[in-house]
Amino acid sequence: MPDKLILLVEDNEEDEELALRALRRAQIADRIEVARDGKEALEYLFCEGVWRDRDGSRQPDLILLDLKLPKLNGIDVLRRLRADERTRRIPVVVFSSSSEDEDITRSYCSGANSFVSKPVSFSCFAKTIGELGEYWLSVNHSPSRPSPPA
């Protein structure tokens, strides 16, 4: 799978490490960027703050977004993404420990493309991540990338 970029928004270091492990094992992405909170995720996407020097024309092919995040929660991040022309077409999978109806509904209403609960069992977790990458990066066709801002 050539040149695929995943943005993982995850505050829990262990979850991050396990997710990276699972993603690596599944070999579904060339590059995985990690944001530790909602603010950093937005800075990454909009090339601000520490990500000021990032190439803004290269947006992630998939965002795995945790809901419970410090500073700015997942739903807020989702809303900001969907409100901006540069990021509104990026597939976002909410990847959360929650399986609450309310969270699912709010996620979809805020523009999530998918909602997946993190299983407790690592094998299930890894399998799920593999399937997610497989689907969103190979099976699914995303809209072509928007032209970089002038």
Binding residue (CB under 8 A) for another protein from 4, 15, 39, 76: 15
Residues 18, 72, 104, 116: which binds another protein (CB under 8 A)? 18
Hey, what are 101's tokens? 């109806």
Considering only CA atoms, which of 16, 4, 1, 5 is closest in space to residue 95?
A: 16
DSSP 66: -
State the Cα–Cα distance between residues 46 and 55, nearest whole angstrom: 10
Q: Which is nearer to another protein, 59 or 128 (CB)?
A: 128
Question: Please, which residue, 86 or 118, has the CB nearer to another protein?
Answer: 118
Place of tokens 């990847």: 95
List contacts with another protein (CB under 8 A): 12, 14-15, 17-18, 21, 67-68, 96-101, 118-123, 125-126
